[in-house]
Amino acid sequence: MKTLLVVYDSVTGGARQMARAAAEGAAAQAAAGDAAEGEAHALACRLLHADDATPDDVLAADGYLFVGPEMLAALSGKMKSFFDRAYYPCLDQIQGRPYAALVCAGSDGANAVRQIERIATGWRIKAVAEPIVVCTHAQTPEAIAAPKTIAAGDLQRCHDLGAAMAAGLAMGVF
């Protein structure tokens, strides 16, 4: 059985919605694939908050979706803490595995994406999809701190990415 690990952090709820949509897409794809193949659970999807994800979770997974908010032009502290805890214990043990990134940002999200890409380069894992950045356009202190609601179309893109990752893992494409 293959495992897709979705690690996320969320401060105002936007990235959490994106992570859940991706995990639901992966689970739906896995269920559809199982039904079509007559197999029992060819793929599992694990959704873990960054505080709860461990190096062992990373090592046990076959592919990754990293989901987080951009805060002050960087990944959130909890996502960074996850990578800090997992980086060296997983170094030289996960190379070649696929990953994708989803970022919820108030403006462009580019620096958070760049941080994930740099970490992935060090781990030598490979991006299998373009990053999805959902821009909330929150620019005032009140808008930045307010709970976020991600638009249906953006959630569908996250869902579709989760499904694509699941299908690719289950079929051995990556």
Q: Report the relative pairing of strands 98-105 and 132-135 from DSSP bridges.
A: parallel
Average pLDDT, stretch 42-54? Answer: 96
Average pLDDT, stretch 30-56? Answer: 83
**Nearest-CA neighbor of 136 among 69, 75, 55, 81?**
69
Distance, C-alpha 21 to centroid of its chain:
10
User: Quick one: 2-171 is in which CATH superfamily?
Assistant: Flavodoxin domain (3.40.50.360)
As a whole number of angstroms, the distance between CA 84 and CA 69 comes to 17
pLDDT at position 32, please?
A: 87
End-to-end CA distance of the chain: give it in Å, rounded. 14
3-state secondary structure of 86: helix
Give per-residue pLDDT as tens, 117-151. Answer: 999 999 999 999 999 999 999 999 999 999 999 99
Q: Are the C-beta atoms of residues 11 and 71 closer than 8 Å to each other?
A: yes
Percent of the chain with pLDDT over 70: 95
pLDDT at position 36, please?
A: 62
- pLDDT score of 35 more than 70: no
As a whole number of angstroms, the distance between CA 26 and CA 76 comes to 24
Average pLDDT, stretch 50-60? Answer: 98
pLDDT at position 123, please?
A: 98
Entry pTM: 0.95
pLDDT at position 33, please?
A: 72
- pLDDT score of 37 more than 60: no
Q: Which of 30-39, 99-108, 156-165 has the lowest mean pLDDT?
A: 30-39
pLDDT at position 40, please?
A: 46
The DSSP output letter for 3 is E
Percent of the chain with pLDDT over 90: 93
- pLDDT score of 63 more than 50: yes
Q: Please state the domain extents for the chain.
A: 2-171
3-state secondary structure of 110: helix
